[in-house]
Amino acid sequence: MTAPADLLDRARHHLDIHSRALASLGGDDRASVARLVHQDLADLLPVLQELLEDREQLAAKLHTARRDPVTGLATRAGWTEFAERLVAEGPTTVFLCDLDEFKAVNDTYGHAAGDAVLAATAQRLAGWCGPRGGAGRLGGDEFVVAVPYTGEDLDGRVAELRQILAQPVEYRGRLLPIGASVGAAKTVTAEKHALSGILGKADAAMYRAKGRGRRGRRPSLPRRITLALRELLRLAA
């Protein structure tokens, strides 16, 4: 794609060429026409400049909308564009990750520590998914990864990813405990709504993992009672 500055330089170059060509025709009438054409084109240059500046600003806004400022990962919109292309190319696996200890980190150590955890998680996910995959931050402490499906065992891949995300994050001399509930699903078709379907399945798998307790362990009896009470209160509301 031609850069806006190059387009502007090209317009100025053509303006100069046409002005000299018209002026060289000779005769008062032709010289007058040349001056009029030159003036008309000169008047258009500021308009062109403004249009090109608007295009640059729009491109910057689109980039910002597709890139999360805290983690550097793709936003939901940016990741969705990538994942749709990947699904169209062939079988795809999606992993949804929800951090287990994030609220405790924020409450105990502050939002700067929380941002450090988010950034570390993003770096781990980007490294794990490799050059053909793509990671994104959906919002809050929820992340998503899409990679080509190559026949691997999903349970094994989920366990691998959960182990990577369970490593403590170093922050100002402290090791912040963190973990993640991970769900995965795969698609082998490139149908129109394949991505939304696979996201729904991965989301359900993630919440099943979260229901089994932190980092995939089955909750203790008190935790189960707490979850049951919350559900009863929700239903009664």
Residue 22 lies in a domain: yes
Burial class (CB in 10 A: 0-12, 13-18, 19+), 41: middle
Asked if 55 and 85 sit in the same domain, the reply is no
Chain position carrying tokens 């805290």: 70
Residue 167 lies in a domain: yes
Residues noted as catalytic: 141
Asked if 108 and 210 sit in the same domain, the reply is yes
DSSP letter at 74?
B
| Domain end call among 36, 65, 94 | 65
The pTM score is 0.65
List, in order, residues 6 or more apart from 133 with CB less than 8 Å away.
Answer: 145, 146, 147, 148
| Domain end call among 44, 65, 86 | 65
Q: Are 132 and 153 in contact (CB under 8 A)?
A: no
List, in order, residues 6 or more apart from 25 with CB less than 8 Å away.
Answer: 31, 34
pLDDT one digit per residue (tens) for the chain, 237 residues: 455 566 566 666 666 666 666 566 555 555 665 666 666 666 666 766 666 665 655 445 544 567 999 999 999 999 999 999 999 999 999 999 999 889 889 999 999 999 999 999 999 999 999 999 999 999 999 999 999 998 889 999 999 999 999 999 999 999 998 999 999 999 877 666 788 889 999 999 999 988 876 444 444 344 444 444 544 555 555
Taking Cα atoms as reference points, which of 150, 109, 142, 101 lies closest to residue 125?
A: 142
Asked if 131 and 18 sit in the same domain, the reply is no
User: Which residue segment(s) compose the domain that 165 sits in?
Assistant: 76-236
In this prediction, residue 157 carries a pLDDT of: 94
Q: How far is 212 from 219, CA to CA, in rounded Å?
A: 6
Query: What total number of domains does the chain contain?
Result: 2
Asked if 97 and 59 sit in the same domain, the reply is no
Residue 71 lies in a domain: no
Asked if 58 and 148 sit in the same domain, the reply is no
Asked if 166 and 139 sit in the same domain, the reply is yes
Asked if 51 and 133 sit in the same domain, the reply is no
Asked if 191 and 84 sit in the same domain, the reply is yes
